Amino acid sequence: MAIATMTIDHMGAVFYPAYTLLRIIGRLAFPIFCYLLVLGMESTRNMRNYFTRLFLFALISQVPFCLAFGLTPFEHLNIFFTLSSGVLLIYFFKKNPLISLFVVLASAFLNFDFGPYGIALIGCMYILKQNTEHGIVSIVLLSVLSLLIWETQIYSLLALPIILLHKSGLLKIQRALEGSTAYPSWRKYLFYLYYPSHLAMLYLIKTTPFF
In a domain? residue 8: no
Kindly report, residue by residue over 148-175, the tens digit of the pLDDT: 888 888 999 999 999 999 998 877 666 5
In a domain? residue 202: no
Residue 30 to residues 96, 114, 135, 177, 211, Cα–Cα distance (Å): 26, 9, 16, 29, 28
In a domain? residue 193: no
Kindly report, residue by residue over 15-30, the tens digit of the pLDDT: 998 889 999 999 999 9
In a domain? residue 187: no
Q: Look at the chain and report how many structural domains it folds into.
A: 1
In a domain? residue 182: no
In a domain? residue 5: no
Write out the residue range of the structural domain in which residue 38 sits: 30-151
Is residue 64 within 8 Å of 200, Cβ to Cβ? Answer: yes
pLDDT in tens, the chain (211 residues): 999 999 999 999 999 988 899 999 999 999 999 999 999 998 888 899 999 999 999 999 999 999 999 999 889 999 999 999 999 999 988 888 778 888 888 888 888 999 899 999 999 999 999 999 999 999 999 999 988 888 888 999 999 999 999 998 877 666 555 555 555 666 777 889 999 999 999 999 999 876 5
In a domain? residue 118: yes
Amino acid at 166: H
The reported pLDDT for the residue numbered 182 is 53
- 29: Cβ contacts below 8 Å, ≥ 6 apart: 2, 3, 5, 6, 9, 159
In a domain? residue 127: yes
